[in-house]
Amino acid sequence: MRESTPSFFAWCDESDRIDAFTEALSALVHPWRICSSLSIFSTWRDEIPVDEVAATLHAQFGTDAYAWASFGVTLSSGRALGFSSHCCGDGQLRRGASGPLGMSPFDKEELLPLRLPVGLLASAKSIEVEAAMASLVVQEDVEDLLLRLCAPGASRRVTTGGCTKLGHWGAPIEIGATYHATATEVVRDLALSWVHLHGDDKVERAAGLSMDALRARVDAAPHGARIAVKGGAEVSREAVLQAIDTAPAVLLDALEASALPDDDWRAVEPYAREVMKMIAEGAPVQDVDLTTRKHVRFLEQHAPYHVRRLPSGGVVLATHPYRTLWPLWNDALFLLGITS
């Protein structure tokens, strides 16, 4: 079974976009600090140092601008991938562009590998262990990339972002990872999802709304209105409003409590780490196919959730890109006595 590669998106004010874009590039292309190419309007440059990107973009950037860059990235796992990234103005967003900041790998097979080397002499080889190995590698890289795009420094220009395999910035509760510069606004995931799924607003257009404005949008819906979430679940207007009105610290505690790995994951994680250790020590390996329905299904149902409170005051919610954040949110709402 073939799955789409993850794409990353981030939102910030239009006036901050060039600085946010260049800060992200500095974090992504480190240590080389060279972009393979940069394009904006009729300007095209090859092998441009990151330090020169800001000046090039400031000279031409405006509401109708769309800038594009390509570069190599060394991931936290040590893998090296080629990426493209873009930055666009609000005029482009109104015409349907994604973003306003975004990036994705060139090779759709690289970030989510289709095959994985597994130790021939592993004491426990199974589809579940193989899937867990893939999850351990991929989740670390995805979270690292999301933070390099959204929070490369202390500026906090980017207020929210996400990682999705949908090909577009979908409802936050239906994607695999989200970032918020302010942890107390983590409920933005639910509010944005409501506005997107009920009002059909593009996430890119609604992501910059204040929490008060988002709450007003939810409150304006008819009593008893509901949104359908992928997988067959539904969320009511009243549940979203209750979550928005819940004390942020209480909501974060509930999300953390709901992020505990399930029994299936706990049963295989030690063996997955054992196999990875054997490979690192030079054990003979063979490639295994990770695209079977059984591999994907295990990740969709059992990949662990991470709730990371950041030193900057932000928060990341994340799982493997094959899974969505909705089960995490659903369990947290249940703990709080909020029924959908």
Q: What is the residue-level pLDDT of the chain in tens, covering all 340 positions?
A: 445 678 999 999 999 999 999 999 999 997 778 899 999 887 899 999 998 998 999 888 999 999 999 999 999 988 889 999 999 999 999 888 888 999 999 876 678 877 777 655 554 468 899 899 989 989 999 999 999 999 998 788 999 999 998 778 999 999 999 999 999 999 999 999 999 999 888 999 999 999 999 999 999 999 999 999 988 899 999 999 999 999 999 999 999 999 999 999 999 999 889 888 888 888 777 788 888 899 999 999 999 999 999 999 999 999 999 999 999 999 999 999 998 7
pTM comes to: 0.93
Cα end-to-end span (Å), the chain: 32
Task: List phi, psi (to 5°) of 317.
Answer: -110, 130
What is the pLDDT, as a whole number, of residue 119?
59
Strand, helix or coil at 135?
helix
